[in-house]
Structure 1
Amino acid sequence: MLGIMHRSALRNLMVGPTRMLTTTRMLTTTSRRPAMDFPCIDRLETRQRDLMAGPEPTYEKVVTGYEVFGHEEAFACDHGGVLPRLDIAYETWGRLNAERSNAILIHTGLSGSSHARSHARNTRAGWWEKFIGPGRAIDTDRFFVVCTNVLGGCYGSTGPWSVDPATGARYATTFPLLTVNDMVRAQFLLLDRLGIRTLHASVGASMGGMQSLCAAALHPERVGRLVTISACARSHPYSIALRFAQRQALMSDPNFKRGFYYDGVQPHVGMKLARAVATVTYRSGPEWEQRFGRRRRAPSQPPALCPDFLIETYLDHQSERFCLQYDANSLLYVSKAMDMFDISRSVTDRLAAQRARAGRAAPVCITAADQPAAAGEEDHSLPETPDEITRDLVAGVSAAMQPTLVLGVQSDILFPVKQQREIADILRRAGNDRVTYYELDAMYGHDTFLIDVVNVGAAIKGHLENTI
């Protein structure tokens, strides 16, 4: 091959002056083409200059009208670190009955706020507006509905954006790593304050479905019914990889500054890229094929490297709209908690032992990763085979005997239906004979729980109101 290339090169060098002159003119003409326009980069640079001149985002203004529960005692987190106190933002709808037995706790997804439905203090539509209300799937004429912003969030609950009482500065990345279990334990502190001993139901989708399952396993005596939608019993490597890519995009922004960006420019570009990746995982190819196809924004114009296809303009718009409405550190912490979710018994036991050794014994549901073994010790008890892993998961939900509804969506790529089937399977193997599983043939992907009011809503309503 080298010989052939060499001879070819020689032939090119031996061509007459006319051939060489033509080639030179062609190269000269090409080099004089004007540089391509990048209006998308121009907009980012303009936005960056505006951010440098303007005030930082105030996340508390994104969601208003919530109440705040202040827990004034120390709160130990699963992976070390103690919050000296914490706040949980929450909103309620309906009325609590005399027996205090009609409460439903709604768990949110990653970036969800407590504002699930509109009310007098905030008339803007909530993120689950069409599912909650009089006569709706979650009927506020019958139930007292509570929704919180999770611990680690930025919409009123304590998170990295909050001020550390010990320093007077924002926590930033000195905030302790969280687990879904930490979020659930904080929610139950709120329920204690509200005088709610037993929930009629724990309901959630996506990360909310993780919380809902965790609540039922962690406090089985306090959860009457369980609804988990588009969630999992343990995070899959594929979804972990997708969230990792989002965090890497965010942390690569020069303005991220290892999380200490609150006194400067927000990592706007990194957040925008992270949200674009996330949006791809939330919807489905069939929906986008029907909605956008291969149509371009300006088909009469030459192709461009900036948003050109309609699907690209959609992603650009959605990610730009989000990037300054949610705290970057909260995205890192809450998405990492999702990665670490695992309801297995071995995980529960290891964390319980760790907390006991630290003198902070408490019921534990999940962990992020194995704690490092003591010097000279190795843990040979971790499940390795598929059968061992399944038995470990079954043991982890052995106390969750509530009537349960599990919903999966066939077009969901972030939490595939295989994971919903696994939840139903381990609950049944644990002895729960009141598990209902539905698999929806919807084209909206993971976001089906936000969109399909008819099918998702009917399933929830039937489960909550059915006398069992």
Structure 2
Amino acid sequence: MSVPRRLLGIARNARPASVPCCAPKPRQLSIISARQQSNQATRRIHQQTPRKAQHAAAVQEVEIESTNPALSFPCLDAHESRSASLSKRSLAGPEPSYTSGHTLNFHSRQPILLDWGGILPEFNIAYEAWGSLNQDKSNAILLHTGLSASSHAHSTETNTKPGWWEKFIGPGRPLDTDKYFVICTNVVGGCYGSTGPSSIDPANGERYATRFPILTMEDMVRAQFRLLDHLSIQKLYASVGSSMGGMQSLASGTLFPERVGRIVSISGCARSHPYSIAMRHTQRQVLMMDPNWARGFYYDGVPPHGGMKLAREIATVTYRSGPEWEMRFGRRRADPSRPPALCPDFLIETYLDHAGEKWCLEYDPNSLLYVSKAMDLFDLGQEHRERINKVRKSNSGKLQAYLDGSAIETDTSSDVCSLTLPDQPYEEKEQPADFDAKAVEADGSAPPADLVAGLKPLANTPALVMGVASDILFPAWQQREIANTLKRTGNKNVTHIELGEDKSLFGHDTFLLDLENVGGAVKSFLG
């Protein structure tokens, strides 16, 4: 009988019970290296040995332990435990709605053509409103949200939970409900009541999942203006937004300049830049690599909560700033009395872990993919807009065919879903000899002519543009670029405010937290 595999851990200095006939003679041992001796000892283990030798080796194996104990991984235990509980829940039916409370709803039965050729046969917009619309309907403010926010910006009678901009909305507040009628929507593509990937496709009665079409910021804005049409609001007093909402606010003014009285864009941009695209790409990748994502068709099973948790942790790193975290956490560990661990150990790690765990089941993973991709595609430059307009024109026949009840022809040769990876990966190239670093205007002092042309529709629209020096996701130079570009269009009413680190250390999330500086500027601008 051969020795079991578990005995391969026998100590190197264990003496074999018998020496095979092929073993070297004693005088030869002096010239054999230690490695050869070890290899030979290992080979002997697999040979037949007397039962007594096997017993002795087994006893020796029991007595010898690893030099160090195995680490514990409570973070992985928690992940596996949640997966197990979600697996039991999935047996009872689809996962529950992500909608966080009662909203008003606008349902459009008219189809909408999206920028990249997709069609939504009908769609729903979840929205909430505060204040009263005046007689001539001239006091409406459209408030745009960030990526993951719902329409619940402020508490209502039917949903008393505090909203994400609770302190900014109300009588005497920056968005003064004694003066204005404030409307906030959940964007198309979201999961808090508006039509998105988790919604039912009326064509087949199944969830869209990743059959949902690619979106743009402009698609979301067009859907919002369908709501304004429904409310008979011809012109907004103001379009206000922060982060992704700041992008939408600019988009609303360029798409409908005659319907927007003034623009507020806080911590936004006129075009997404490589760093923010890279960070959102990373979030999407860790989510899509979660086996439970199942290419988007997870609604009747276990949702990809692990991928969502990691995606949120990456996002949270970009939302706050280094100076703030230095003050809040420093290099402190959660429990200095314990040895270091590979699971969350430093206070900053436990903070990120908690933020990811808390959020991973509050937002639809597919919505994160689609809405974040729409942010990446955002570019108000003239060249990009002309390209998209050509695509829309070429796809206009699809919308007409749908309205006529005809079959929609799909040109598979130009199918936008036929993306393939390049044969040759990108390689670093040497910097050209004539490269002029000064020509790359990262400070926004000289906006490109293409962007000036793209923002020309806003030449007569008063605008407030705010940035935060500690913001790493939408760095302050991007808000300077917006302001300078608007001035280049001939706009004489541009207010640009940049909060230095002496006023705010909260990074990108400053717009959620700084009632005095952000709120004060908004209130002053709106009048």
1:128-277 equivalences in 2 (<5 Å): 128-277=165-314
Q: What residue in structure 2 maps to residue 429 of structure 1? A: 488
SS at structure 1 position matched to 2:496: strand
Q: TM-score, normalised by structure 1?
A: 0.87
392-401 vs 146-155, which moves further: 392-401
Q: TM-score, normalised by structure 2?
A: 0.78
Say if 1:190 and 1:354 are closer, same or farther in 2 by CA, change over 3 A: same
SS at structure 2 position matched to 1:154: coil
Q: What residue in structure 2 maps to residue 345 of structure 1? A: 382
Q: What residue in structure 1 maps to residue 125 of structure 2? A: 88
- 8 Å contact kept, 1:59–1:325: no
1:258-287 CA distances to partner (integer Å, 9 max, x unpaired)? Answer: 000001100010000000000000000110
Q: What residue in structure 2 maps to residue 58 of structure 1? A: 96
- 8 Å contact kept, 1:78–1:179: yes
Q: What residue in structure 2 maps to residue 453 of structure 1? A: 515
1:408-459 CA distances to partner (integer Å, 9 max, x unpaired)? Answer: 0000000000100000011000110100000002100000000011100000
**For residues 423 and 11 of structure 1, what CA distance do their matches in structure 2 show?**
78
**For residues 65 and 316 of structure 2, what CA distance do their matches in structure 1 show?**
39
User: 1:99 offset after TM fit, Å?
Assistant: 1.1
Q: What residue in structure 2 maps to residue 398 of structure 1? A: 456
Q: What residue in structure 2 maps to residue 444 of structure 1? A: 506
User: 1:81 offset after TM fit, Å?
Assistant: 1.6
Q: Which runs of 5+ in 2 are unaligned?
A: 1-29, 38-59, 400-413, 417-438
- Say which of 291, 313, 335 aligns to 1:298: 335
User: 1:354 offset after TM fit, Å?
Assistant: 2.0
User: 1:348 offset after TM fit, Å?
Assistant: 1.2
Structure 1 position 462 matched with structure 2 position 524 = yes
- 8 Å contact kept, 2:447–2:481: no
SS at structure 2 position matched to 1:153: coil
Say if 1:232 and 1:222 are closer, same or farther in 2 by CA, change over 3 A: same
318-327 vs 352-361, which moves further: 352-361
Say if 1:12 and 1:269 are closer, same or farther in 2 by CA, change over 3 A: farther
- 8 Å contact kept, 2:318–2:473: yes
Q: What residue in structure 1 maps to residue 474 of structure 2? A: 415
**For residues 263 and 119 of structure 2, what CA distance do their matches in structure 1 show?**
30
User: 1:349 offset after TM fit, Å?
Assistant: 1.2
Counterpart amino acid of residue 39 in structure 1: P
- Say which of 109, 114, 129 aligns to 2:151: 114
1:37-87 CA distances to partner (integer Å, 9 max, x unpaired)? Answer: 001100100000000001454234x42121110010111111112111000
Q: What residue in structure 1 maps to residue 402 of structure 2? A: none
Counterpart amino acid of residue 490 in structure 2: G
User: 1:220 offset after TM fit, Å?
Assistant: 0.6
Counterpart amino acid of residue 83 in structure 2: Q
1:8-52 CA distances to partner (integer Å, 9 max, x unpaired)? Answer: xx999579x9xxxxxxx9xx9773432100011001000000000
Counterpart amino acid of residue 337 in structure 1: A
**For residues 383 and 484 of structure 2, what CA distance do their matches in structure 1 show?**
18
Say if 1:29 and 1:70 are closer, same or farther in 2 by CA, change over 3 A: same
- 8 Å contact kept, 2:254–2:457: yes
Counterpart amino acid of residue 285 in structure 2: Q
Q: What residue in structure 2 maps to residue 45 of structure 1? A: 80
SS at structure 1 position matched to 2:107: strand
Structure 1 position 324 matched with structure 2 position 324 = no
SS at structure 2 position matched to 1:395: helix
SS at structure 2 position matched to 1:436: strand
- 8 Å contact kept, 1:206–1:229: yes
- 8 Å contact kept, 2:117–2:391: no
Counterpart amino acid of residue 158 in structure 1: T
Say if 1:119 and 1:33 are closer, same or farther in 2 by CA, change over 3 A: same
Decide which structure has the larger Cα Rg and report it. 2
Structure 1 position 355 matched with structure 2 position 370 = no
User: 1:360 offset after TM fit, Å?
Assistant: 5.7
- 8 Å contact kept, 2:116–2:392: no
**For residues 291 and 43 of structure 1, what CA distance do their matches in structure 2 show?**
26
Counterpart amino acid of residue 49 in structure 1: A
1:388-421 CA distances to partner (integer Å, 9 max, x unpaired)? Answer: 9711110111011211000000000000001000
Q: What residue in structure 2 maps to residue 103 of structure 1? A: 140
- 8 Å contact kept, 1:394–1:427: yes
User: 1:179 offset after TM fit, Å?
Assistant: 0.2
- Say which of 71, 94, 102 aligns to 1:36: 71
SS at structure 2 position matched to 1:347: helix
Q: What residue in structure 2 maps to residue 376 of structure 1? A: none
Q: What residue in structure 2 maps to residue 21 of structure 1? A: none
- 8 Å contact kept, 1:59–1:327: no
Say if 1:14 and 1:348 are closer, same or farther in 2 by CA, change over 3 A: closer
1:207-243 CA distances to partner (integer Å, 9 max, x unpaired)? Answer: 0000000001111111101000001110000100000
Counterpart amino acid of residue 51 in structure 1: L
Counterpart amino acid of residue 96 in structure 2: T
Q: What residue in structure 2 maps to residue 365 of structure 1? A: none
State the number of aligned residues.
426
RMSD over aligned CA atoms reads 2.3
User: 1:320 offset after TM fit, Å?
Assistant: 0.5
**For residues 201 and 59 of structure 1, what CA distance do their matches in structure 2 show?**
32
Regions of 4+ moved over 4 Å: 10-15, 385-389
- 8 Å contact kept, 1:108–1:208: yes
SS at structure 2 position matched to 1:255: helix
Counterpart amino acid of residue 430 in structure 1: T
**For residues 298 and 386 of structure 1, what CA distance do their matches in structure 2 show?**
47
